């Protein structure tokens, strides 16, 4: 395989305004559900990525599946791009209108369609957020475990194949989405999968759409697995002198088969930022934040085993958080690590990384990457869902200083090269979006990319579904 040149600069945007005749027909169909105001368009033309892109030409606020169908059909007639929008929390530029077009905001499609507690499944509209879903089903004794940190929409989480802090025990969206309703590029409604736990019927179209980042269709209903709410939950923090001690602890926990529910790594920089932001007093050393689910006896056994492993690796200040209030405070602080880092350098933007490596190579990848980041002089934060080998650097740059941007991109490029060399991937959970197009080519190879392009061409021959993402061009 010939090596692919990694991107060293952010993408050049070829933006185009939507035809006014299309805007007129959308206004006739949607009335007050259509907005062309600059404030609304700019809101829908930004996510948490560092890219600055012109906004979409208009925003359609869909309230039902027929709204999505009609909007897509009209856009298809004019060969105008369609970009789906949920909570706007993506960080790889997924929802940016890089080719212009119309944004379809599905946040008003926020209903629980059906809860099937006996089968432990629920069907929701795409605008339902993970917190909203868990609040709605809490009396059923079930919960939805996928937790990417932000209060993302279920539609967006499905589109990016999200995972997060609970993935080490409960898996990712790939394992937890059973069925979909999708509006395809010609405006037709397609259903994939069923509520059954398994099926051998035909091509697995559900898995095809999960992780497609809006490039194959707009999801309008999602059926996901639920899990029994654990009888007992306990959380713990443990500090270490070095990152290597913390990562070795994680490797041993996983290799011993301990069913830990969450194990998160924060480096000393990040703990310091979190302390300031969340007004905590955590030891400013590399830290593991862990959670255990199960019966009282099994939770106690898991925690004691982990405490022994941590102690053998130099862990200290092992502290328990048994009450819901303490657990919530700690996990809220972890989820706010990104915002704590951003606030530590006013006016900065974060160039984030998202590699995932086999658990046995975690320490190698982390330690080399930390040495490079420290040598660069760029401030950074480091967090990781290290139980499944996934971690994130956030390089904090002044977006107006090209030298800082170039340094961050070089660090990111070398990190991805390292992860691929160690048998990993360029993205464990954030998706490709704009930022990782070149990295996907390096990881997958030209033959696999050709297959993906063929699928895209077959389902979206006009290239209107979120164009400019995943592939450089069709």
Q: 137 Cβ partners below 8 Å, 6+ apart?
A: 112, 115, 117, 122, 143, 144, 226
Ramachandran class of 132: left when φ > 0, alpha when ψ lies in -120 to 50, beta otherwise: alpha
**CATH 3.40.50.300 for the 115-228 domain, yes or no:** no
CA 106 to CA 144: how far, in whole Å? 21
Q: What residues pair up with 61 in beta bridges, in sequence order?
A: 105
From residue 318, how far is each of 239, 306, 352 by CA, in Å?
7, 10, 30
Q: What is the pLDDT of residue 15?
A: 63
The tens digit of pLDDT for each residue in 264-277 reads: 999 999 999 999 99
The whole-number pLDDT of residue 266 equals 96
Residue 437: per-residue pLDDT: 93
Please give the pLDDT value at position 473: 62
Distances from the Cα of 306 to the Cαs of 296, 310, 313, in angstroms?
16, 6, 11
Distance, in Å, from the CA atom of 299 to the CA atom of 454, rounded to the nearest integer, reads: 48
In order along its 474 residues, the chain shows pLDDT tens digits of: 333 333 434 454 556 788 999 999 999 999 999 999 999 999 999 988 878 889 999 999 999 999 999 999 999 999 999 999 999 988 899 999 999 999 999 999 999 999 999 999 999 999 999 999 999 999 999 999 999 878 899 999 999 999 989 999 999 999 999 999 999 999 999 999 999 989 999 999 999 999 999 999 999 999 999 999 999 999 999 999 999 999 999 999 999 999 999 999 999 999 999 999 999 889 999 999 999 999 999 999 999 999 999 999 999 888 887 688 888 888 888 888 999 999 999 999 899 999 999 999 999 999 999 999 999 999 999 999 999 999 999 999 998 899 999 999 999 999 999 999 999 999 999 999 998 999 999 999 999 999 999 999 999 999 999 999 998 765
Phi, psi (deg, nearest 5) at residue 455: -65, -45
Residue spans of the domains in the chain: they are 20-107, 115-228, 232-421
State whether CATH 3.40.462.10 applies to domain 232-421: yes
Query: In CATH, what number does 20-107 get?
Result: 3.30.43.10
Cβ neighbours of residue 185 under 8 Å, at least 6 residues apart? 72, 76, 82, 216, 217, 459, 460, 461, 462, 464, 465
Cα–Cα distance between 169 and 331 in angstroms, integer? 17
Alpha carbon distance 192, 10 (integer Å):
36
The dihedrals phi and psi of 35, each to the nearest 5 degrees, come to: -130, 135
Edge-to-edge, what's the strand order for the sheet holding 121-124?
112-116, 121-124, 217-225, 177-184, 189-193
State the pLDDT at residue 316.
87
């Amino acid at each position: 395989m010939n090596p692919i040149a990694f991107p060293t600069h952010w993408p050049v945007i070829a933006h185009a305004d939507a035809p006014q005749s299309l805007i007129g027909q959308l206004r006739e169909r949607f009335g007050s559900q259509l907005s062309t105001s600059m404030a609304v368009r700019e809101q829908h033309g930004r996510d948490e990525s560092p890219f600055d892109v012109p906004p979409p030409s208009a925003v359609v606020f869909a309230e039902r599946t027929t709204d999505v169908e009609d909007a897509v059909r009209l856009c298809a007639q004019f060969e105008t791009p369609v970009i789906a929008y949920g909570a706007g929390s993506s960080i790889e530029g997924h929802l940016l209108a890089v080719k212009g077009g119309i944004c379809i905001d599905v946040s008003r499609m926020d209903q629980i369609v059906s809860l099937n507690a006996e089968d432990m499944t629920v069907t929701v509209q795409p605008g339902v957020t993970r917190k909203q879903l868990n609040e709605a089903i809490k009396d059923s004794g079930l919960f939805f475990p996928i937790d990417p940190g932000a209060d993302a929409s279920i539609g967006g989480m499905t589109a990016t194949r999200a995972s997060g802090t609970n993935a080490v025990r409960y898996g990712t969206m790939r394992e937890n989405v059973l069925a979909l309703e999708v509006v395809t590029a010609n405006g037709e409604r397609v259903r994939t999968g069923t509520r059954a736990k398994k099926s051998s019927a035909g091509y697995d179209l559900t898995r095809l759409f999960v992780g497609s980042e809006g490039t194959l269709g707009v999801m309008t209903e999602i059926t996901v697995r639920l899990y029994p709410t654990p009888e007992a939950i306990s959380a713990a923090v443990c500090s270490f002198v070095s990152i290597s001690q913390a990562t070795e602890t994680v490797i041993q926990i996983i290799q011993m088969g301990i069913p830990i529910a969450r194990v998160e790594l924060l480096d000393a920089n990040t703990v310091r930022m979190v302390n300031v932001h969340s007004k905590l007093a955590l030891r400013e050393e590399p830290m593991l934040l862990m959670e255990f689910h199960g019966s009282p006896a099994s939770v106690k056994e898991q925690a004691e085993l982990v405490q022994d492993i941590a102690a053998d690796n130099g862990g200290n200040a092992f502290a328990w958080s048994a009450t819901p209030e303490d657990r919530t405070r700690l996990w809220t602080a972890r989820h706010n690590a990104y915002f704590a880092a951003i606030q530590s350098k006013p006016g900065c933007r974060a160039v984030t990384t998202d590699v995932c490596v086999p658990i046995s190579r975690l320490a190698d990848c982390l330690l080399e990457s930390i040495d490079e980041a420290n040598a660069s002089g760029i401030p950074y934060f480091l967090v990781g869902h290290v139980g499944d080998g996934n971690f994130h650097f956030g390089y904090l740059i002044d977006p107006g200083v090209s030298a800082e941007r170039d340094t961050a991109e070089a660090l990111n490029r070398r990190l991805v090269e390292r992860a691929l060399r160690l048998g990993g991937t360029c993205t464990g959970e954030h998706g490709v979006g704009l930022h990782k197009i070149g990295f996907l080519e390096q990881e997958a190879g030209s033959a696999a990319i050709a297959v993906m392009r063929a699928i895209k061409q077959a389902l979206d021959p006009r290239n209107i579904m979120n164009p400019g993402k995943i592939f450089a061009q069709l």
